[in-house]
Amino acid sequence: MASDPIETRKSTEGMVDYNRNSSAQQQHAIMQADHIRRLVGKLGRVEPELRLVDYGCGPGMSAIETVRPAIETYRAQFADAPIAVCHSDQPGNDWNALFGLVNGPDGYLSDNGPLRVEAAVGSFYDRLVAENSVSLGTCFFASHWLSHAVRLNAPGTVLFNDLHGAARVQLAEMAYRDWVSFLRHRTAELKPGGYLLVSALGSVPDAAEANGAAAAGRGIYRAMQAVAQSMADDGMLDAEVLNGFVFSLWFMTATEASEAISGDPILATACEVEHLAVTPAPENPDDLFKDKVDDPAEYARLYVGYTKAFADSTLRTQLFEPSAQAPDAASELADEFYRRLDALYRAHTTTYACEIWHLTVALRRR
């Protein structure tokens, strides 16, 4: 049984067909607009330029909606002040899709003042831009991806929340280290007085759960586990590969997020926590696609599209390819997986509904 080794490969290589299947993330970015406007409003004029960095920007419209309110707010105050917008993600991000949107009719290049656009390519667990250069950093729906893929002793689950014993402790420790490392890098990159706004999926205390907390999206991961197990039972997936596979994700509770900051001497000294909370999504918090529940085919189509967008690269590299017996077999396994997932959602609909809690953290660099 695979256990312990932390792999060198990434937890995700990037998103698939993201723009069409990320309505939740787009709504979330729009929902954060007031928060972003408030933070930019507090910055005043920044010299030599206002630098915005969106970490884990992804390839879709949410990346545009994240920076737009910051540009508009600053430009309304300082018509001639230079702005630099930096989109940051891993090499595997669909950069052509992103810059197509930036340059397109719904992009932000119609801004009338001096504005330049840049990209920082790499992992947000490393330094990505110069120290003391960022006025506002944002990171939405991304920091819950851990720094590396893991293989653990994880039979019966692909979700951190359902792990037990040593496997759970090991992933919890990695999540803690990663969160501290992410924040230390961002804090170093912020200018004094600058802000970091992070929003990721979160967890809430729930005595009915084996580990005492309910994780956002638990229904989707339990649906994926059920489908993967059925394929292993039918001899299509390697049972040992499945038993060692877990998504390298951790959705923190408010206590986990906050104790990591207050318990780290560097972070506790370098920044103030302006806001930290886990809250239900403002729309459809109990079921992302609640509005379609009376149409099981459409409900299933939406859930499969949403799942594929964030999970496909992880499933391919960590489950299908290691199980594949022949060069084309991984794609066939993927097709079969999504066919079964679709059938599961049609048959059981709300049993595997995706609940959403957001962890939102705003920090100010002292």
250 binds ligand SAM, rule: CB under 6 A: no
305 binds ligand SAM, rule: CB under 6 A: no
DSSP class per residue in 42-55: HH-S-SS-EEEEEE
DSSP class per residue in 14-51: --SSTGGG-HHHHHHHHHTHHHHHHHHHHH-S-SS-EE
Q: Which is nearer to ligand SAM, 15 or 341 (CB)?
A: 15
Report the amino acid identity of residue 8: T
248 binds ligand SAM, rule: CB under 6 A: no
15 binds ligand SAM, rule: CB under 6 A: yes
- Site of tokens 């066939």: 332
Which residue has the closest beta carbon to ligand SAM? 58
Nearest to 19 by CA among 9, 29, 11: 29
Alpha-carbon distance of 355 to 288, in angstroms, equals 6
Greatest distance between any 2 Cα atoms in the chain = 64
Q: Which is nearer to ligand SAM, 62 or 229 (CB)?
A: 62
Nearest to 361 by CA among 146, 140, 197, 202: 197
Say if residues 58 and 25 touch (Cβ distance below 8 Å). yes
225 binds ligand SAM, rule: CB under 6 A: no
Q: Which is nearer to ligand SAM, 13 or 240 (CB)?
A: 13
Cβ at position 199, least distance to ligand SAM in Å = 8
Cβ at position 257, least distance to ligand SAM in Å = 17
58 binds ligand SAM, rule: CB under 6 A: yes
SS3 assignment, position 210: coil
User: Phi and psi dihedrals of 322, rounded to 5?
Assistant: -65, -20
SS3 assignment, position 8: coil
Window 114-153: residues binding ligand SAM (CB under 6 A): 123-125, 140-142, 145, 147
Q: Looking at 10-18, 231-239, 296-304, 326-334, which segment touches ligand SAM (CB under 6 A)? A: 10-18
Q: Please pick, from the candidates 56, 137, 194, 244, the single residue that binds ligand SAM as defined by CB under 6 A.
A: 56
Report the amino acid identity of residue 9: R
Cβ at position 186, least distance to ligand SAM in Å = 12
Give the interface with ligand SAM as residue ranges (CB under 6 A).
12, 14-15, 22, 25, 29, 56-58, 60, 62-63, 89-90, 93, 123-125, 140-142, 145, 147, 310
